[in-house]
A = this chain, B = another copy of it.
Amino acid sequence: MHTTVMPVTLLTALITVLALIFYIWTGLSVAGARSKHNVKAPTMTGPLEFECAVRVQANTLEWLVIFVPALWLATVYFSPAMSIVYLSWLPPVLGIVWIVGRVIYKTGYMTAPEKREVGFVISSLAVLALLICALIGVFVVWSAASAI
């Protein structure tokens, strides 16, 4: 069991760092738009481009706090329980899908607010899948523990 879980955990750690770096990038875009349009802190409203950058960062923050715990719960409970059916790799793969969805969301939103939907749906579905994996993992481990 130890040898199966180990690489998945490392992959999940790596994807967590990548997600955090992507999120820092959304913050740098806000700083860039603030400087470009000369919006002085603490003001948070202004030209459309600035407000879109603000919303991309804020929405990514809103989902990051769901994504990170969901990713790790799935990795810790689902991956070891599912190693027998070769599904251990599913949580980090869903993590990659989330990051890709978020990149598409950011690019779309910065083009035009109504183009934010595709990336939003992709990344939201990845988070929902991670939450379902986490629940399945918890119940499988629970059943196994109760059976002893």
Contacts and interface: CB of A to CB of B under 8 A. Distances in A.
B27 A62 contact: yes
Contacts of A42: 48, 51-52, 54-55, 109, 113
Interface residues of A, number: 45
> Would you list the 3 A-B pairs with minimal beta carbon distance, nearest first?
A42-B55, A42-B51, A41-B113
A16 B57 contact: no
Interface string A17-46: 100110110010000000000001111100
Interface of A: 6-7, 10, 13-14, 16-17, 20-21, 23-24, 27, 40-44, 48, 51-52, 54-55, 57, 61-62, 64-66, 68-70, 73, 76-77, 109, 113-114, 116, 131, 134-135, 138, 141-142, 145
